[in-house]
């Protein structure tokens, strides 16, 4: 099996397969879905759209892009009477298309019943225990993009904190190799969040991923590496060294005291941890300091 095929297998089973077997998958948005050109004046915003403010500058920029490239991602609408439609997803694109003076826009028409079915299926899907984190993220993203639901609304329907939902979806911003590692169980969600903290520094992000895997770093070590970078340490080697719990100095002290000694670095400063077996052992160690 070639590498791209392996990667595709690792990253998940495909969005359609994430829905339960008895679900009518024909209503999902996929490459075979029929896209229709709908008169732009026949569309109206969804009154339940949680987003009320649209930045004029951003709309103008999107409008310029639409003039050059067209609308790449179709809108999702549901029919009303008299040939009118309500926008389910894509109000920003619709506003930009109006700004670009388009007469028609590409859209996928879904009945209210179909939308309700799909929304329920996706909500149930996110709550499945057999999904890996990236598959959960794909389901939440679908709720956001196909229904125009804010992450706050999605979190309420899932019974999760909004911050939890946001953190899950952020996993989709991971580089491809990190997604493969997360889906394959080589790194955890905690590792993934540390990697995301370095998304503006792809070189050290890749270094951190490799080090986590090759040296079996725990989440705390990955976080310490990120903290070192954020504190302004420019040399990757030096940032790496700050993650170590043992140094030549701690090893020397450990030999002198006859017990384990470790460094625990924090955002500011850190702790020096000295192990002891019981109170008698503690007294023995304290005596060493007085010699």
**Tens-digit pLDDT profile for residues 257-287:** 788 776 666 555 677 777 888 888 888 888 8
Q: What is the pLDDT, as a whole number, of residue 205?
A: 92
Q: What is the mean pLDDT of residues 152-163?
A: 84
Q: What is the pLDDT, as a whole number, of residue 175?
A: 92
Topology of the domain comprising 15-25+114-172: Arc Repressor Mutant, subunit A (1.10.10)
Residue 240, token pair as written in the block: 């790496």
SS3 261: strand
**Tens-digit pLDDT profile for residues 231-245:** 766 666 665 555 565
Domain segments of the chain as ranges? 15-25+114-172, 36-110, 174-241, 248-289
Give one word for 246, left, alpha or beta, with left for phi > 0 and alpha for psi -120 to 50: beta
Q: How confident is the model at residue 146 (pLDDT cuts 50, 70, 90)?
A: low
245 contacts 264 by C-beta, under 8 angstroms:
yes
**Tens-digit pLDDT profile for residues 247-258:** 677 677 777 778
127 contacts 69 by C-beta, under 8 angstroms:
no
Q: Reply yes or no on whether 119 is catalytic.
A: no
Residue 27 pLDDT exceeds 50: no
SS3 274: strand
- Taking the model in full, what pTM does it have? 0.53
Q: What is the pLDDT, as a whole number, of residue 196?
A: 93
Tokens 């791209």 belong to: 4
Mean pLDDT for the chain overall: 77
Residue 237, token pair as written in the block: 């080697």
Residue 211, token pair as written in the block: 């080090």
Residue 16, token pair as written in the block: 């359609």
Please provide the CATH number assigned to the domain covering 36-110.
3.90.1530.30
In the set 91, 119, 141, 223, the catalytic residue is 91
């Amino acid at each position: 099996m070639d590498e791209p095929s392996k990667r595709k297998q690792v990253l998940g089973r495909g969005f359609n397969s994430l829905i339960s077997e008895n679900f009518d998958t024909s209503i999902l948005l996929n490459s075979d879905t029929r896209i229709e050109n709908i008169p732009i004046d026949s569309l109206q915003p969804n009154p339940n759209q949680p987003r009320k403010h649209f930045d004029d500058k951003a709309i103008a920029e999107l409008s310029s892009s639409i003039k050059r490239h067209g609308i790449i991602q179709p809108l999702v609408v549901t029919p009303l009477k008299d040939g009118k439609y309500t926008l389910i997803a894509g109000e920003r694109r619709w506003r930009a298309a109006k700004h670009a003076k388009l007469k028609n826009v590409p859209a996928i028409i879904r009945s209210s019943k179909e939308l309700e079915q799909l929304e329920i299926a996706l909500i149930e899907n996110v709550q499945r225990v057999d999904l890996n984190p990236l598959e959960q993220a794909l389901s939440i993203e679908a709720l956001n993009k196909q229904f125009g639901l804010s992450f706050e609304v999605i979190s309420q329907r899932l019974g999760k904190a909004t911050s939890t939902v946001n953190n899950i979806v952020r996993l989709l911003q991971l580089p491809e190799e990190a997604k493969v590692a997360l889906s394959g169980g080589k790194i955890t969600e905690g590792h993934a969040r540390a990697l995301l903290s370095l998304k503006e520094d792809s070189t050290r992000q890749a270094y951190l991923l490799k080090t986590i895997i090759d040296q079996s770093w725990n989440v705390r070590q990955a976080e310490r590496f990120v903290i070192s970078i954020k504190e302004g340490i420019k040399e990757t080697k030096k940032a790496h060294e700050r993650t170590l719990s043992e140094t030549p100095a701690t090893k020397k002290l450990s030999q002198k005291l006859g017990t384990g000694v470790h460094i625990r670095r924090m955002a500011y400063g850190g702790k020096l941890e000295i192990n002891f077996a019981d109170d008698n052992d503690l007294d023995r160690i304290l005596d060493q300091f007085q010699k």
